[in-house]
Structure 1
Amino acid sequence: MVEDVPEALLAARDDVARFLLSYKFAIDTVMAKVNILNEEFRYTHDHNPIEHVSSRLKTPASIMEKARRRGVPYDLNEIRGSILDIAGIRVTCSFVSDTYTIRDMLAGHEDIRVMEERDYVRSPKPNGYRSLHLLVETPVRMSDRTEDVPVEIQIRTIAMDFWASLEHKIYYKYGKSVPDGLLDEIREAAETAHRLDETMERLHGEVREQGDRARGPLPGPEELRKLPLADELLRALAERVNSERSD
């Protein structure tokens, strides 16, 4: 029963709830910006760099376990300053160049401040892991205060994401005792994924180049007047104007 719970514990529960809410709202804020970009590209551009977006908020148990491993005191202020991946967003792209396009667009928002960038795309980890990690800070405005809340954003290609998911499952199964032969295969799979990304990037560039060449330069005003469609539009407009004058 709630009546049997000490007041101090109830207060602590409320503090934790407010603590986590600020991170949830930070996720909502950044996700809204990503979703707007996604919608804009879907309807107004030839290519949408965003394939999939997901988010996650660490559970209290996960936060406390990480604090224990790092020797961080079980104090919310200490945790806020020491554990910076409580709120996380992952953006999956089609091509490597897309990762930097999204990075630049998010960093261009005036209420998103990039605190740290770790580029594992150009400088992969020893195990082959590739991804672009951004640690950003965004203001969260609540009823009684405004907090600058950190959010970790991971931007990676579909191939990188597939490899990372597989690698995570393997390490989860074996813990720290992954057989050496399997580790070698994981690294080789990472290189295979990287080569696939390079091939897809090259093909994407060739297709866009051929499309631009086929379309040619955009027509100017004089060329537009020569188009049959333009003549039809002008004729229809003239007929409408003459009709309105006669009325």
Structure 2
Amino acid sequence: MREWARFLLTYKFALDEVNTKLNILNEEFQFIHDYNPIEHVKTRIKAPESIAAKLKRKNLELSMASAGLHIRDIAGVRIICSFSTDIYRIHEMICRQDDVKVIEVKDYIKNPKPNGYQSLHLIVEIPIFLTSGVERVMVEIQIRTSAMDFWASLEHKIYYKFNASVPETIGRELKETAAIIASLDERMLKLNEEAKSCRV
């Protein structure tokens, strides 16, 4: 258990590093542009039971080495922003960090999932500085608007109630609702742009 605790501690440190970076970027952006693109940030670390279950599903060895190599979302960060343009702005700011290595990008905004889910997913490697030296730890970052987060949260609860076997009618309505959410994001962005032009 102590070994697993030490293993998960490295992911906690990686989340601390990401949080620090995001706070600095957000504060600097606020100072320069009088606007903060990040509404709030949520973090989580997978429980050992969830890690073991995922390894079993993938028919992989139940070990820390296997988890570190094959499970990329042990540490997760969810960044919530106001407008869809903020998503790509934050993405660019993260990619410009010299010590952050972007491993993978999945754009579920330009290419939503079949159920309508939208978000931008990044897998990044973050260096953490320990007494034994530097370790690079993978972190999953999800960036979405408040509206996208609202939909995803409720969709997850609905899927949980049906044990992932959602009736076709409900699945269809969820997808239609996702389209409404996307339309709402576009309208709010347009209103924001109009409001900015009126201030000038």
Shorter chain as normaliser: what TM range? over 0.9
Residues 57-99 of structure 1: CA deviation (Å, up to 9, x unaligned): 0111111111111111012111111000000000001000000
TM-score with structure 1 setting the length: 0.78
The one-letter amino acid of 2:148's match is M
Distance in 2 (CA, whole Å) between partners of 1:139 and 1:47 is 29
**Within 1, Cα distance between the matches of 2:75 and 2:190?**
34
The answer to whether 1:26 aligns with 2:14 is: yes
- The one-letter amino acid of 1:144's match is S
Instruction: Name the amino acid aligned to 1:211.
Output: R
Q: What is the deviation of 1:40?
A: 2.6
Q: Deviations over 1:15-57 (max 9, x none)?
A: 2111101111000001111112222334442321111111000
Correspondent of 1:102 among 90, 96, 107: 90
> Using the alignment, how far apart are the partners of 2:30 and 2:65 within structure 1?
41
Equivalent residue letter for 1:102: I
Structure 2: gaps of 5 or more residues: none
Deviation digits for residues 210-233 of structure 1 (CA, Å, limit 9, x no counterpart): 223xxxxxxxxxxxxxxxxxxxxx
SS at structure 1 position matched to 2:73 = coil
Paired residue for 1:196, among 173, 184, 194?
184
Whichever residue aligns with residue 47 of structure 1, its letter is Y
The residue identity in structure 2 corresponding to 1:82 is: H
Structure 1 vs Structure 2: percent identity of aligned residues?
50
Residue of structure 2 equivalent to 1:135:
123
CA RMSD of aligned residues (A): 1.1
Q: What SS does the corresponding residue of 1:19 show, helix, strand or coil?
A: helix
1:183 is the counterpart of 2:171: yes
Residue 50 of structure 1 corresponds to which residue in structure 2?
38
**Cα-to-partner distance string for 1:121-179 (whole Å, 9 max, x where unaligned):** 11111110000001000111111131110000000001100000010000011113211
Letter matched to residue 16 of structure 1 = W
Bigger-Rg structure (1/2):
1
Provide the residue aligned with 2:146 in structure 1. 158
TM-score normalised according to structure 2 size: 0.96
Q: How does 1:1-247 map to 2 (within 5 A)?
A: 13-212=1-200
- Show structure 1 runs of 5+ residues with no match: 1-12, 213-247
Shift of 1:14: 2.2
What amino acid does structure 2 have at the position aligned with 1:191? A
Q: Where is the helix percentage greater, Structure 1 or Structure 2?
A: 1
Q: Deviations over 1:187-214 (max 9, x none)?
A: 11100100000101111111112223xx
**Separation in 2, partners of 1:153, 1:180:** 30
Q: Residue 9 of structure 1 aligns with which residue?
A: none
Distance of 2:133 and 2:61 partners within structure 1: 25
Partners of 2:137 and 2:113 lie apart in 1 by 27
CA distance in structure 1 between the aligned counterparts of 2:196 and 2:65, rounded to whole angstroms: 50
- Other-structure match for 1:236: none
Query: Relative contact order, CA 8 A, sep 6+: which one is greater?
Result: 2
